[in-house]
A and B are shown apart, each in its own frame.
Chain A
Amino acid sequence: MKAPAFRYARPESLDEACALLAAHGSDSRVLAGGQSLMPMLNLRLAAPAVLVDINRIPGLERIVEHDDRIEVGALARHAEVLRSEAVRRGAPLLAAALPHVAHPAVRNRGTHGGSLALADPAAELPACALALGATLVLRGAGGERRVPAQAFFRGLYETALAPGELVSRIEYPRAAPGWRYGFEEVARRHGDFALAGLAAAARFDDGALREARLACFGIADRPILLRAAGLEEALAALDAVEVAGTDVYPESYRRRLMRVLLERVLARLEKA
C-alpha cells in the first residue's frame, strides 16, 4: 500500500509545468490535491514515472468574481470554494454541491481543477460544470485553449485534455435573474460517490418553468446533460439515455433513482 517509485518535480509556473509535461510525455501525471491520484498510486493502479506537483504555482488557487462570470482557479481547494462568498453569489449550484464532495479533510486538500480533470463519472463537479455551461481553460506548451464543459467530458475518466495539457481555470457564467439551482444525490453514505445524482439549473418566468439544464451523474460513463422544459420532457429524455448498471446496483434501480431525483428537484425548484 505504498506508492511505487517515481520522480517528482515542483514547477513554479504554468509554463514550467507544461514544459515538464511535454518533456516527460505520457509517463508523467499532474499532482494537484492528490485525493484521487495518491490512492491510485498507493493501490498500484497507476505508476507514472514522473509527478508534476502544481501545488506551488502562484495564483492558480484564485477565485475571481467578474460581472459576467466566476473564475475558479484549478488549484482552488473544495473547502475554499465552499467558503467563497463570490461562489455563493455567482455560482450557488457549486455551493449546494460541494458539501456532498467527500469529507472535510479531503475537501481541505482536493482541488476544483483536479476533480474536473479526473472526470469520475460519479463526481459532483463535472455535473455542475455541465449544468452551468462552464468553460474549462486548458493550458499546454502551445498556449491556452477554451473548451466548453459539454465537449470536455468524453467518457470514463476521459476528457478533451491533450497530452501535455492541464486545466488552469474554470469559468462559470454568473447566475442570472430567473434562474434557480438545485442539487441532490443518493449515496450509500454522505460523502461517498453517488449512485445517482442531479445538478440542475432552471429558468423560470412568471413562476413557470421555461427551460432546464439537468446534469445527471453516476448513471453512465460521464455526466449526461438533459435539456427540457418540464418534468415529462426530462423523463422522456432520460428514457433515451443508456444507463449503466452493476450486479449490486442494476440499471433499472439507477434509472429509478434518477427519475425520483428529477421529480424531486424540479418540484423543489418550482416552489423555490
Chain B
Amino acid sequence: MSEPLAEREIRAVVNGQQVRARVPVRKSLVDWLREDRGLTGSHVGCEHGVCGACSVVLDGAVVRGCLTLAVQADGARVETIEGATESGRLAALQEAFYRRAALQCGFCTPGMLLAAAELLERNPAPSRSEIRHALSGNFCRCTGYHAIVDAVEAASRRS
C-alpha cells in the first residue's frame, strides 16, 4: 500500500515540453503552471470551479485548472493557452475575437478560446444556442457575451 505524501515528484508534458518537478500535493494545477512554470496565461478567478478563467487542456480535454491538482498531471499532457496559441490551432478563433472585439479586459479570454476550440472540434457548425451552452461555464464579467458568441460563430463553418 502506498503511503500518503505531502509532496510528490511528477513528470508531465507541458506545451510539448517534458517537465519534471516536485510539487506540494495541495497545489492546484493552475497555480503550479502560473507560479512554477511561468505560464500566466491561465487566470485564477473564482478558485471553486465556477468561472472558467483557469481552463487548461489535460490529456486532450478542457478542465478547470483550479479543481485539478498539479500532482494529478503526473504522466499527463498539459496544454495551456500559450501552447495552444503557439500551435496555431486557435488562430481562426483569435482572429475572429479580435475582429469582433470579443474581449474587453481579456481576463476570461483564454478560457473562452479553449472552450470554443473544444466545441468547434466536435461540432464545426454549431448553432448560436449550442455556442452559448458550450460557453455556459465561462464567465465574462465585462458581460461581452454577444460579441463572444458572434466571434465563435464567425470562426465556425457556419459562416
Contact = CB atoms under 8 A, between A and B. Distances in A.
B49 A35 contact: yes
Given A104-B134, A106-B64, A23 B49 contact: no
Contact of B72 (A39, A55, A77, A108): A55
Contacts of B66: 38, 42
A95 interface: no
A8 B71 contact: yes
B49 A39 contact: yes
A102 interface: yes
Interface stretch (B12-20, B55-63, B79-87, B91-99): B55-63
A25 B87 CA distance: 46
Contacts of A38: 28, 48-49, 66-69
A35 B2 contact: no
Interface string A1-41: 11111111111000010011001100000000011001100
Contacts of B31: 2
Nearest to B75: A56
B4 A7 contact: yes
A117 interface: no
B5 A104 contact: no
Interface in B130-145: 133-134, 136-138
B27 to A, nearest CB: 8
B136 A190 contact: yes
B25 interface: yes
A103 B61 contact: no
B126 to A, nearest CB: 12
A42 B2 contact: no
Contacts of A77: 61
Interface residues of A, number: 40
Contacts of A4: 26
Contact of B118 (A11, A104, A106): A104
Nearest to A109: B63
B37 interface: no
A24 B4 contact: yes
Contacts of B150: none
B115 interface: yes
B8 interface: yes
| Most interface-central of B63, B68, B133 (chain A CB within 10 A) | B63
A95 to B, nearest CB: 15
Contacts of B138: 103
Interface of B: 1-6, 8, 25-26, 28, 31, 47-49, 52, 55, 58, 61-64, 66-69, 71-72, 74, 115, 118-119, 133-134, 136-138
22 contacts: A1-B47, A1-B48, A3-B26, A6-B6, A7-B25, A8-B4, A8-B26, A9-B3, A11-B2, A16-B1, A38-B67, A42-B47, A42-B66, A43-B48, A51-B4, A102-B137, A103-B136, A104-B115, A105-B64, A108-B61, A108-B63, A191-B136
Interface of A: 1-11, 16, 19-20, 23-24, 34-35, 38-39, 42-43, 50-53, 55, 77, 79, 99, 102-106, 108-109, 189-191
Given A6-B25, A109-B61, 6 more contacts: A6-B6, A9-B5, A20-B4, A42-B66, A105-B55, A109-B58
